[in-house]
Structure formats: C-alpha cells, structure tokens
Homo-oligomer: A and B are copies of this chain.
Amino acid sequence: MPVNLNPPLPDQLFPVAGLSLGVAAANIKKPGRKDLLVMTLREGGRAAGVFTQNRFCAAPVVVSRAHLGTGRGIRGLLVNTGNANAGTGEEGLAHARRTCRDLAALLGCDETQVLPFSTGVIMEPLPVERVSAGLPAAVADLGEDNWFNAAQAIMTTDTVPKAASRRIELNGRTVTVTGIAKGSGMIHPDMATMLGFIATDAAIAQPLLDATLRHAVGRSFNRVTVDGDTSTNDACILLATGAADLPEIVDPHSPEFLAVQAAVTAVATRLAQAIVRDGEGATKFITIAVEGGKDEGECGKVAYAIAHSPLVKTAFFASDPNLGRILAAIGYAGIADLEVERIRLYLGDVLVAEKGGRAAGYREADGQRVMKQEEITVRVALDRGTASTTVWTCDFSYDYVKINAEYRS
C-alpha cells in the first residue's frame, strides 16, 4: 500500500502544447498491457537529460546520451517496459539503435533525433521485433491529452501511476509543466528503474534548460532513496516545446526563468516523493531534514547515513523511536570533526536528543506518538554552519524482503 498516494486525476494533468504522447500494448513481456510509450516533440523544441551514474549503464542510456550529444533537435522518445536492455553488450546497443531508427522512419526524422528508454528485466535480449511492431499503434495514439495513459504505460511494479502538473502565469500567458515518472526500488526479477519525463511549453535556451533540469533533479530525484541501490537505466528528461508563444527565456536571473525553474522543480519533487510513497513494501514516508551544516555535502552525508541504515529503517517500520540507531548513523556519516555534544535531534516537533544523550525533557511516549504516524520528519541540527538539505525515504518492512527475495517465476 503506497503511503498517502492517490492516482493523479486525468483532468488535472494539463496538456503541454507541442508535446504528444501515444501508448500501445506491444506484448514485450506480458500480453495485453500498455508497455510502450512514444512521445513526440514539435520541431524547434529542446531536450535536456540526466542519466544514471552507474558504470553498468544500459544500452538505451548509452544511445540516449549519444543522441542528445549530437545537438540535433530531439523529435521523438520511446519508452518500453518489460525489458531493460541492460547487461546486453553490443547486441543491446544495436537493438536500442534499431528502435530509434524505426520510430524515426515513422516520424520522418533522423534516428539520432530519437531517445530510447527501457525498464524491466535485465540481462535478457530486448525483444526488439515486438517493440518495433508496437510503434505504429503508439504513433497512431499520439495526442497532447494523453498524460494519464502515458503514466500508466511506463509502470512496472509501481502500484499507482505517477504524474504531476503545474500551471503558472508568465507575462499574462499560461505556462504549463507536466511530468510523469516510474518508480525506484529494484524488483524481482528485474531491476526497476527510475524514469522521469517532464515537459513545458515555455521556450528556454539550451544552457538554461540543462541548468533547470540539474536544479530540479538535485532537489527531487537525487534526494529520494528507497534502498540506496542505483539502477543501470535511471534517466530524467526535460522537454521544452516553446509552444506557449512567449519569448525564449535566455536570462538566468529573469523572473521568468526563476518561475519556470520553480515549477519544474515542484513537479519533479512531487514525482520523486511519489516514487518513495510507492516504494517497495513502504508503510511510512520519512522526511530527513539536516540543518546547521558547514555545507550541503555534509548535510547530505548525514541525511543519507540515516536514510540508508537498515536498522533505522526497520525501527521506522516498527514505529520504534530508537534514538540510538539514528544517533549512531549520524556518528558514522563520515564527518571527521563532528562534535556530537552540539547536535540536536528532533522526531517531528519533539526534541529527543541533545548534549550527546537523551534530551532532559524527552518522554518516550512523545517519540512513540510521532513514530506511529504515516509521515515522519526527522530533523537533525548540527550547529556548525548554515547549510541544510532534505532527503525523503521510506521504511524497511517484511514486504521489502518478500518482494525482493521471491524467486523469478
């Protein structure tokens, strides 16, 4: 059961002019389910991408990076579920290029103007004939008002489709930002992948588009963790169609740029949090806020040490205000000159630890009350600077082990 996560309402996913989406059931792994998504971007639109840092990156990641790198305008994207085309060597690269070529032929563009994405079982050959055979149906389905179906088509073990949308006013015109994502946490028999696709009808110069994506991902997808594992296929793409009939944004200090960047970040954050809320076996949504650090880097170390600790995560599952596990995680986060006597630790609004031990006024019943909630905030005040960061994660339950231990059928 996802934690406080409802499916998006289709009529609240605002179309992005200049960006069409079409889905098809291509029988890639299981018959009869939507498993193929095609997106098309109008001519003159721009694309930016960030990809997994895993050295074992999948074939479609290699090809998407290369195609984005040509600087030719991207016109099409295709996403298949059911097979990640990862750990597939040279043959996998040929398969990924083949799907680009086939979509390019349907769209009348060059194959380097197409970006491929895959998620699903790894180390199995991509059933490329089935992917390609499904493309005409997906293209026939193309429409700007198709975001909900697109969110469904990229689901793997996600239990809820993930989409978010924002509208802002810029100089009297409406600008739309809409995005979809699929979940993280790696799953049997495959390694699930975090994929995000966000589009806006604003016109944004390429360097600013790249910066906007980095900004948004740094505050959203890069701030969530389910189990600390990084997939071979993770990718997030930002598309700007320029169809909103506003001047191109070229000034990184302009209010227009800041407004669009904030809207993209808001959509990305909502998508990233949805992934955690739908994490494998999750029963709690946990916000870890670290403040008073010397820099963001050390705040992140502390936040991730807590977020990745199996002991902390099982204590959250048990609604156990186990302060010692959290303090121990802070202690081994890797800050060599950390003065533990200065740290204050809060569960929700309750000060639970300070001066290297339990807070004087802390009563376990107060910590217990916070831990029983479905949404928990852990706040760590380091008292050594002004930097801060926030990370979102979920707990670690029996179901996580069950989902990940069940043998491939």
Contact = CB atoms under 8 A, between A and B. Distances in A.
Given A189-B322, A310-B228, A310-B404, A327 B398 contact: no
Q: Work out how many copies of this chain go into the complex.
A: 2
A194 B311 CA distance: 16
Given A191-B311, A332-B229, A87 B353 contact: yes
A317 B188 CA distance: 13
A315 interface: yes
A322 to B, nearest CB: 7
B401 A397 contact: yes
Interface stretch (A52-60, A68-76, A196-204): A52-60
Interface stretch (A106-114, A132-140, A355-363): A355-363
Contacts of A355: 89
Nearest to A227: B310
A318 interface: yes
A323 interface: yes
B405 A317 contact: yes
A407 B321 CA distance: 9
A307 to B, nearest CB: 12
Contacts of A56: 327-328, 330-331, 340, 356
Contacts of A331: 54-57, 230, 232
Contacts of A357: 87-89, 92, 123
A13 interface: no
Contacts of A230: 328, 331-332
Interface string A301-341: 00000001111001101111011110111111001001011
A329 B229 contact: yes
Interface in A147-201: 186, 188-191
Given A311-B186, A318-B405, A55 B330 contact: yes
Contact of A405 (B86, B88, B123, B320): B320
